[in-house]
Amino acid sequence: MILDANVLLYAVDETARGHERARAFLEDHLNGDVRIGLPAQSLGAFLRISTHPRVMREPLAPAAAVSHVEDWLAAPAAWLPDVTAATWAILGRLVAEHQVTGNLVPDAQLAALAIQHGVAVVSADSDFARFPEVTWVNPFA
């Protein structure tokens, strides 16, 4: 599985609805037996959003946000999935076949990465349902 940034954000933001569920999900899986992908795209989005004072009620200090990422990457089951030329070929197909535009492009990028690596996308974002080729898991459903 690979994680969307929203799961990471909910796991850290104590004011978020679903915080406890996300925190437990992340902790259990990072310490589990099945690898859990933390795409660079999701980690970058986590850093961008978690430190943004206009987005977060209680934004993290940059060093605190980086510390979370470092802790996650050091976990036993953590995996940083590679983006390759194959990922881009899959992305191009998804964009064309599903008429992906604008803000849906990052979702298509994660979907392409999941297809390439043969894993599910874990996200609270229902936009992943538009990609029938991808197994989408909503840990909050």
- Can you say which residues are annotated as belonging to the binding site? 4, 107
Supply φ then ψ for residue 96, to 5 degrees: -70, -45
CA distance 96 to 84: 19
Give the Cα separation of 104 and 141 in Å (integer): 21
Strands (E) across the chain are located at 2-3, 36-37, 78-79, 121-122, 136-137
In terms of C-beta density within 10 A (0-12 exposed, 13-18 middle, 19 or more buried), how is residue 61 classed? exposed
Binding site for Mg(2+): which residues?
Answer: 4, 107
